[in-house]
Each structure stands twice: as structure tokens, then as C-alpha cells.
Amino acid sequence: GRFPEGVAKECMRRVLEAVKYLHSKNIMHRDLKPENILMVSPDSDIDVKITDFGLAKQADQDGLKTFCGTPQYFAPEVLQRRGTVRGQGRYGKEADMWSLGVICYILLSGTMPFNDAELYDHIENANYTMEGQEWENVSDVAKHFVESLLAVKPKDRLTADRALKHPWFTGEEFVRPVSPPLLPLQPPQQSTTNSDQAPQSSSAGAGAEAEEGKAAHPSMAPPSARPPPHAQRRGRGGTTG
């Protein structure tokens, strides 16, 4: 089952404090999951301990490359190591943060974020949802926290330090960022001319037209001199920005 949001938040706070310490020592756990997080005493102030450091390793600045862990908690960049030859691709501490995002999702909803049937595809595309009855009473700021950990690109994820400063923990007023509205694509405007009705223009007139065209379309090159009236001309389409 799922935890009340307040309990889930305090559990995550304690886990993040522990992971922040590990990461400050350049240690990656690489197998963070609920089974490896023990609650010391549920009847008092929440205290948790991280266990099972069998896959933990100290990483250099280039990260690690061993494909290991528990599939449901793999980060997308860890999956990229699957089936690769030695030396291709690496991953860093951000992989632990992804796993924490999965854990938080489970604590808040009591469900797994990714479908086992197409597990790896769903992970690689962060294909999950926060719809349904189990999410009805979860705050928007808590959902945003989970989203900030389950970002496909490692650089877009919260670090342990930044995660602890998220409004979910600090209690600061939270306003979800709003994406700018998508504007409809405007088709290019087509202009047509009838060469049989086009008047002749002197070189001075052509020059004036060129200057006028440059003012209306500063990025366009000046038009060439007009062809004689009897010549066939093709219309020139303009584009709108």
C-alpha cells in the first residue's frame, strides 16, 4: 500500500540526507530500492537506514560503466550500458537519483511507475503517469518532486542537495512552471502576378521597389531587375516569422 504523503516525505528526506553523504564521498549505491531501505522505528520520529552496499562503488569524475542493479529501478543511462562493449558509455550519481524517483513514486501511490511488459522502453522514455485514484490526494508539489527525479536526461535531474531544497521539503510556496502555449504554424503567404498586366518600370522605379522590399523584408536580398512585360515570371512567396 501507499504511505500518507507526510510520512512519505519524511522517509524521502532521511534517505536523501544519507544519499547526499554518500555522493559527497563519490560513492554510488547503484541498487536503491524499498527493500534496501529500513525504517528503524515507525512509532517515533521517522528514521531510516540504507542497506545492501554490495553493488556500491566509489566513482571517479568519469562515472561508472557496469550494467548492474534491479531492472525496475534502472536509470535510462544505465540501460544504455546493456549489451555494450567494455568502455562504451558511463553513468554517474544521477542514476541513484532516478532510483529515488521510482521509490518516491511507490511511496506516494503504492504502484510501480513502469510497466513490466515493456519495462525498458518505458524507462528509456520516462513513460509513466500520475493519473488515477491513487494520485487524487497527492499534492502537486509532491508530483513535481517525483518528476524532477524521473527526468530522462541526467543533467535535468535534481542532485541530492538540490532535492532537499525542493519546496516539498522546505514548505516554500510552489507554483508549477507553465510551458508557453504552442502557436499554430502559419503557412507561407503566396503572391501571384500576372505578367500580361505587369507595368514596365524604369531603372529608378526598380531601385525604389528594391529599397521598399528591403525595408519590408530586411533579411531578403534585393530583387533583381524586372523582366520585360512579355517574359514569363513566377510568383515569389514570402514567409511569415
Catalytic residues, by residue number, are 31
Q: What is the C-alpha separation between 1 and 3, in angstroms, rounded?
A: 7
Q: What is the C-alpha separation between 81 and 115, in angstroms, rounded?
A: 21
- Cα distance between the two ends of the chain: 53
| Residue 103 burial class via C-beta count within 10 angstroms: exposed 0-12, middle 13-18, buried 19 and up | buried
Q: What is the C-alpha separation between 86 and 70, in angstroms, rounded?
A: 21
Cα atoms found within 13 Å of the Cα of residue 169, Cβ hemisphere only: 19
Cβ–Cβ under 8 Å, residues 184 and 159:
no
